[in-house]
Amino acid sequence: MNSKILQTESNLEVQSDWRHYLATAVICCASAAIMTPFVGHLDLANIVMLFLLVVVLISLQLGRNCAVFSAVLNVLLFDIFFVPPRFSLAVEDGQYLITFAVMLSTALIIGHLTANLKKNEKLALNREKRTSDLYTLASQLAGALQVHQVQNLTQTFLAQQFGAKCLLIVTHDDFISSNTKFAGTDFFIESHMATAVMQGGKTIHSSAFDKSGWASIYIPLKASMRTRGVLAVSLPVLTKHITKEELSFMEATTALIAVTIERLHYVEVANVAELDLAQERLRSSILSALSHDLRTPLTVMIGLAESFQLIKPLASQPVLDIANEIQVQAKRLANHVCNLLDLARLNEGEIKLRKEWHSVQEIMGASIQYLGAALANNKVDIQLPQDLPLIHIDAVLVERVFSNLLENAAKFSSKNSPISISGRVAADELVVEFQNDGPGFDIKTINSLFLPFSRGNSNHSSGFGLGLSICKIVMESHGGKIQAIAQHSGALVKLTFKSGTPPELEFQE
């Protein structure tokens, strides 16, 4: 389809230039000439009706202005050729003046109504055509897979409808940064107007930019969730002005484009999420397989290192020291492998909770005993009230949480500094807090601490960064939560368990 110039309301009617006026005069004179032989055979009232019919036909074909001209001309022709005395403007009966007035008024009214009817018919056909075109555009946009395809469809559509050039500015920001030509366009974008449209969500049309090589219409790409960008439109040079109806049609087109862009956005988000999930599953599978394969040789290494202390006679002291160091490092690596295996199992949901009612003090004591030498350089200050309620948990997994937090506290705190453990009941929750004098948490990265392989202190080289992520998974599986709290000095980690009502113990007399 060839490009169309914007049409104004007067363009919807047939142009009333001098050729149309000349045609109107010819038609009226020819009608008068045709009806002249019937003078004396037809009543003057019937002749008036024929003149009115001519006005209707002219208004249908040549528009309102020519209809008004024909009404006046027909009254004059009727007076000259049919009202006695004929061939003169004189009127022998004053009642004919009333006839002239009624004839002129009726002709004007009929011409006006007929011209409006013709105009409305053309408007209806134009709306129907544009609705059909909009439906076609919607079908094409439904098959678009990338934003540049939407851009091409939009440019083609607006060029066909209005002869206009356009640019889709798709952005996640609330401002458009540059006052220059964008790639692939031959007109300029006024960034302040585009930014105002992004932030205000309303269309801006500046007629001052219509013929300046700048975009003059900025329409927001308003979708259901947010404004996705701006459609900038540059009107053709020959355009006089754009009507409200045409601007509304542009806005309807833009709304359809915005829905398409939002659909593409969520398709991209879904694809990224699906890819991340596939990568996470692959990583969990690799971790699980690697952990299983490493546990056996590590167990053998630990056993061999321990055997040096059992052989008789005893080996030399340097050999025993080396064997002891091998044992310590092998156990340390075995602990990391256990963390990897636990993380893989927890992510895959393979571990089922075996919940029972337990005392926090007992699990804390088991964790301290398990760590043993790892806490040798720190004093553990336990401030857990004796009346703390029992909690319904999987003791093995929660002990792992306590052990990981204690090990981290000892790892990051200074030598001989205390590690404080406190507990309290708040509403229907039991809160346990771990605190030390370590470097604390950076508030900028505090939310990423619980991600796998994330290390809170980059200066510390040991560990895989799995401890806190395992703690988070275990706590959430129990319906609780874990929080790292940034403070001026030291580090604070808070565990929150849901407290319930333990079963009553029955005593036999």
In tens digits, the chain (509 residues) has pLDDT values of 333 433 444 443 434 467 888 888 888 888 888 888 877 777 777 887 887 888 888 877 877 788 788 878 878 887 778 777 777 777 666 666 777 677 778 777 877 787 788 788 888 888 888 888 888 888 888 888 888 899 899 889 888 888 888 888 888 777 776 655 666 677 888 888 888 888 888 988 887 777 667 888 899 988 888 888 899 888 887 666 788 888 888 889 999 999 999 998 888 888 888 887 777 777 667 666 666 667 678 777 778 777 777 776 777 778 778 888 887 777 777 776 776 666 666 666 656 778 889 999 999 998 888 887 778 788 888 888 888 888 999 888 888 889 888 888 888 887 778 889 999 988 888 999 999 887 778 777 777 787 776 665 545 545 566 778 888 888 888 889 998 888 777 888 999 998 878 777 554 55
Q: Are residues 333 and 382 in the same domain?
A: no
Q: Are residues 344 and 365 in the same domain?
A: no
Strand partners for 422: 383, 433
Pairing of the two strands 217-222 and 204-205: antiparallel
Look up residue 411 and give its two tokens. Answer: 């790892």
A 10 A CB-CB count for 219 gives 24
Tens-place pLDDT, residues 145-168: 888 899 899 889 888 888 888 888
Q: Are residues 422 and 491 in the same domain?
A: yes
Domain limits for position 340:
289-348
CATH number of the domain to which 409 belongs? 3.30.565.10
Q: Are 275 and 283 in contact (CB under 8 A)?
A: no
Is position 147 within any domain? no
Is position 3 within any domain? no
Q: Are residues 168 and 44 in the same domain?
A: no
Sheet holding 491-498, edge to edge: 379-383, 418-426, 429-436, 491-498, 481-485
Q: Are residues 368 and 341 in the same domain?
A: no
Q: Are residues 16 and 110 in the same domain?
A: yes
3-state secondary structure 332-353: HHHHHHHHHHHHHHHHHCCCCC
Q: Are residues 216 and 318 in the same domain?
A: no
Is position 133 within any domain? yes
Is position 507 within any domain? no
Is position 457 within any domain? yes
Is position 486 within any domain? yes
Radius of gyration of the chain from Cα atoms? 44
Residue 316, pLDDT score: 77
Contacts 24+ apart (CB under 8 A), 415-421: 415/377, 415/378, 416/377, 416/378, 416/379, 417/378, 417/379, 418/378, 418/379, 418/380, 418/381, 419/375, 419/378, 419/379, 419/380, 419/381, 420/381, 420/383, 421/364, 421/380, 421/381, 421/382, 421/383, 421/384
Q: Are 162 and 11 in contact (CB under 8 A)?
A: no
Of the three residues 255, 278, 310, the one that is the final residue of a domain is 255
Tens-place pLDDT, residues 170-188: 887 777 766 556 666 778 8
Residue 8, pLDDT score: 40
Domain count, the chain: 4
Residue 494, pLDDT score: 92
Q: Are residues 368 and 489 in the same domain?
A: yes
- The closest alpha carbon to 164, from 202, 121, 210, 226, belongs to 210
Q: Are residues 23 and 120 in the same domain?
A: yes
Q: Are residues 379 and 323 in the same domain?
A: no
- The closest alpha carbon to 111, from 140, 69, 75, 145, belongs to 69
Residue 457, pLDDT score: 53
Is position 277 within any domain? no
CATH number of the domain to which 200 belongs? 3.30.450.40
Residue 431, pLDDT score: 92
Which amino acid is it at 46? N
Is position 493 within any domain? yes
3-state secondary structure 265-281: HHHHHHHHHHHHHHHHH
